[in-house]
Amino acid sequence: MAYNDQDNATLVIFGATGNLSRIKLMPALYLLDKASQLHPQTKILATGRRDWDKERCIEEVRDWIVDSTGVRFDVDVFQRFSRRLDYYRVDYSQSGVWPLLKHYLESETTSDNKQRNIAFYMAIRPAEFGLVIDALGDNGLLMEKAGWRRVVIEKPFGYDLDSAQVLQKRISRHMKEQQIFRIDHYLGKETVQNVNVFRFANTMLEPLWNRNYIDHIQITHSETAGVGTRAAYYDGSGAMRDMIQSHLLQLLSLVAMEPPASMDAEDLRDEKVKVLKSIRPITEEDISTRAFRAQYTGGNIGSEIVRGYLDEQNVPADSRTETYAAMKLYIDNWRWRGVPFYLRTGKRLAQRQSMISICFRHPPQQLFRDVSKEGMKQNWLILGIQPCNCLRMEVTVKEPGLDMQIRQTSLNASLLDEGDVRTDAYEDLLLDILSGDRSLFLRHDEVEYAWRIVDPVIDAWSRDKKPLQTYPAGSWGSPESRVIFDKPQTRWRHSLDPVQ
Ligand code: BG6
């Protein structure tokens, strides 16, 4: 493969000994190396507070990759990969470390990495983003004199609108917007990227993609996993901030946006922002019919008995953090006015599933004798994000035979066949960071508008002292969540298979 010198860079990972680096970043970088996607001179500098050295870091990373599901370990590739790796111990609160790190980066990375392009990846606690970026800026590490400098920020970007604005002001003192890569890893997922292709490379859908044909849209992300060891972060966040403010609103804007002028980052992001700006604000009066929250209690996930949220490690016994959140949104524009978008997410639910389900309107008339009105199902279009990476269109057909019996069948345009190579979202996003493509990253105004949508709900919930709704682990959440549906016959769509 021909390498571009602009992609020859050093990737500095802050928080490299942590969970994100272990389960996502290092395996993704290894896979990119295996697929010959990294420039031969690209280096990876892992930094963290732990007292590791280069050898220890290589050993740990080796174990992470061996343990990583979906990664086939190859000794030769790992040898090449390990030559890119180095470890630098940094205590972020010690101001003395930054000039040393600068010196290291300028000397170690120049010998065969003349461009001195550097991407700094913030895989650290959100509370430390500002501190580390200030230190990089104050030490001249973000100045683009001898090559590009980029900063990658993981979500959450802020805790609410005000804190997001404060953080933005703080970091924009040191760099231009073009240097900031705000990650939403959902945008790197295969089906999510396919939403644009599906919508804008197929003319037959466009006439149907509006309020005249679509009854409602559901966007679901469900997990069987509980909070695990992340309570320190999650208990202060909750499902609304953790999933809806970021991933689910991104999915909504891709499904609902107008065709962009081009697929360039700014054109795409302009269209997504227009959607977020058109969302009808949720007022105090309609919170109870537009948002729903609940918390899991003990239950069964498959054959495993699991504990409730309040009994999880590091969760306060009186925590009111929601582990399930659902929301109804209306986009008040020409295309979507009146079409409800139902978003829901939860931990410890019955299945791990992310999908966008588009429900079309009922046929206007019941024409077939002997077919009950109830037998006439609505068409659905299902975009499966995970675990099934697929695209299905449900239509009604006649059963073979003399009787007029009908049933639902699904036209399958799945994106991956068994045995096809699946790439992880982080592989794609890391490559985009190195090549400077910002189209799958969030612009600051997108983040702000997303906070504007969820903030009133989070605020009202924080003042509401009524007992929290609960749901048993392993269920599909509380049936009460249906309070947000406009029509009594609407149901949450749980499965990819047609409902008969
Ligand atoms: C993260 C959330 O952003 O996304 C987690 O913080 C959640 O709580 C995760 O589990 C889900 O991502 P994925 O890729 O596993 O669906």
CATH number for 454: 3.30.360.10
Which are the contacts of 7, defined by CB distance < 8 A and separation ≥ 6? 39, 42, 117, 434, 435
Q: Please say whether the beta carbons of 275 and 331 come within 8 A.
A: yes
Per-residue pLDDT of 357-395, as tens digits, reads 999 998 887 777 666 666 678 999 999 998 888 889 999
In a domain, 9, yes or no: yes
In a domain, 82, yes or no: yes
Token pair recorded at residue 237: 């966040």
Cα–Cα dist 400/388, whole Å: 29
pLDDT score recorded for residue 92? 85
Overall average pLDDT of the 142-163 stretch: 94
Q: Residue 116 maps to which CATH number? A: 3.40.50.720
pLDDT score recorded for residue 401? 87
The finding on whether 154 has its CB within 6 A of some atom of ligand 1 is no
Q: How far is CA 425 from CA 191, 213, 387, 440, in A?
A: 10, 32, 13, 10
Overall average pLDDT of the 13-34 stretch: 96
Per-residue pLDDT of 421-433, as tens digits, reads 678 899 999 999 9
**Does residue 220 sit in the same domain as residue 286?**
yes
**Does residue 203 sit in the same domain as residue 314?**
yes
Instruction: Report the separation in Å between the CA atom of 426 and the middle of ligand 1, taken as the mean of its atom positions.
Output: 12
Q: Please say whether the beta carbons of 71 and 30 come within 8 A.
A: yes
Cα–Cα dist 63/157, whole Å: 31
Residue 283, pLDDT above cutoff 70:
yes
pLDDT score recorded for residue 227? 96
Handedness of CA 85, 156, 243, 149 (dihedral sign): negative
pLDDT score recorded for residue 417? 64
**Does residue 249 sit in the same domain as residue 293?**
yes
Residue nearest to atom 6 of ligand 1 (CA): 242
pLDDT category, 109, cuts 50, 70, 90? low
**Does residue 150 sit in the same domain as residue 279?**
no
The finding on whether 424 has its CB within 6 A of some atom of ligand 1 is no
Instruction: Report the separation in Å between the CA atom of 424 and the middle of ligand 1, taken as the mean of its atom positions.
Output: 13
The finding on whether 427 has its CB within 6 A of some atom of ligand 1 is no
Which are the contacts of 33, defined by CB distance < 8 A and separation ≥ 6? 77, 80, 81, 84
pLDDT score recorded for residue 420? 67
Instruction: Determine the atom of ligand 1 nearest the C-alpha atom of 242.
Output: 6
The model carries a pTM of 0.94
Number of independent structural domains in the chain: 2
In a domain, 489, yes or no: no
pLDDT score recorded for residue 497? 85
pLDDT category, 398, cuts 50, 70, 90? confident
Q: Which of 182, 192, 233, 243 has most ligand 1 atoms within 8 Å of CB, for mutation?
A: 243
Residue 114, pLDDT above cutoff 80:
no
Instruction: Report the separation in Å between the CA atom of 90 and the middle of ligand 1, taken as the mean of its atom positions.
Output: 27
User: Is residue 39 helix, strand or coil?
Assistant: coil
**Does residue 409 sit in the same domain as residue 284?**
yes
Task: Please identify which residue in the block is written with the tokens 């400077």.
Answer: 436
Q: Which of 223, 233, 240, 422 has most ligand 1 atoms within 8 Å of CB, for mutation?
A: 223
Among 134, 154, 174, the domain-final residue is: 154
Task: Determine which one of 174, 247, 444, 494 is catalytic.
Answer: 247
Instruction: Determine the atom of ligand 1 nearest the C-alpha atom of 246.
Output: 3
Residue nearest to atom 5 of ligand 1 (CA): 242
Instruction: Determine the atom of ligand 1 nearest the C-alpha atom of 155.
Output: 3
Cα–Cα dist 216/18, whole Å: 40
Report the range of poorest mean pLDDT among 109-123, 170-184, 236-250, 468-482: 109-123
Instruction: Determine the atom of ligand 1 nearest the C-alpha atom of 386.
Output: 16
Cα–Cα dist 43/57, whole Å: 14
**Does residue 82 sit in the same domain as residue 223?**
no
Cα–Cα dist 272/257, whole Å: 6
In a domain, 287, yes or no: yes
In a domain, 73, yes or no: yes
Active site residue 247: yes
Residue 405, pLDDT above cutoff 90:
no
pLDDT category, 23, cuts 50, 70, 90? very high
Q: Report the alpha-carbon angle 14-20-22, nearest 5.
A: 95
**Does residue 259 sit in the same domain as residue 395?**
yes
Residue 218, pLDDT above cutoff 70:
yes
**Does residue 73 sit in the same domain as residue 212?**
no
Token pair recorded at residue 204: 């037959």
**Does residue 147 sit in the same domain as residue 208?**
no
Cα–Cα dist 103/488, whole Å: 65
The finding on whether 223 has its CB within 6 A of some atom of ligand 1 is yes
Cα–Cα dist 136/30, whole Å: 26
Mean pLDDT of the chain: 92
Cα–Cα dist 500/496, whole Å: 12
**Does residue 132 sit in the same domain as residue 199?**
no
In a domain, 414, yes or no: yes
The finding on whether 235 has its CB within 6 A of some atom of ligand 1 is no
Residue 35, pLDDT above cutoff 70:
yes
**Does residue 37 sit in the same domain as residue 79?**
yes
Instruction: Report the separation in Å between the CA atom of 248 and the middle of ligand 1, taken as the mean of its atom positions.
Output: 11
Instruction: Report the separation in Å between the CA atom of 314 and the middle of ligand 1, taken as the mean of its atom positions.
Output: 19
**Does residue 354 sit in the same domain as residue 464?**
yes
In a domain, 497, yes or no: no
In a domain, 499, yes or no: no
pLDDT score recorded for residue 388? 86
Instruction: Determine the atom of ligand 1 nearest the C-alpha atom of 354.
Output: 16
User: Is residue 372 helix, strand or coil?
Assistant: coil
Q: Is the backbone of residue 419 left (phi > 0), alpha (psi -120 to 50) or beta?
A: left
Task: Please identify which residue in the block is written with the tokens 């969540």.
Answer: 481
Cα–Cα dist 43/41, whole Å: 6
Structural domain range at position 205: 187-423+448-484
pLDDT category, 402, cuts 50, 70, 90? confident
Residue nearest to atom 10 of ligand 1 (CA): 223
- Listing DSSP states for 101-166 in one string gives HHHHHHHHTTSS-TT-EEEEEE-S-GGGHHHHHHHHHHTTTT--SSS-EEEEEPSP--SSHHHHHH
The finding on whether 242 has its CB within 6 A of some atom of ligand 1 is yes
Instruction: Report the separation in Å between the CA atom of 474 and the middle of ligand 1, taken as the mean of its atom positions.
Output: 18
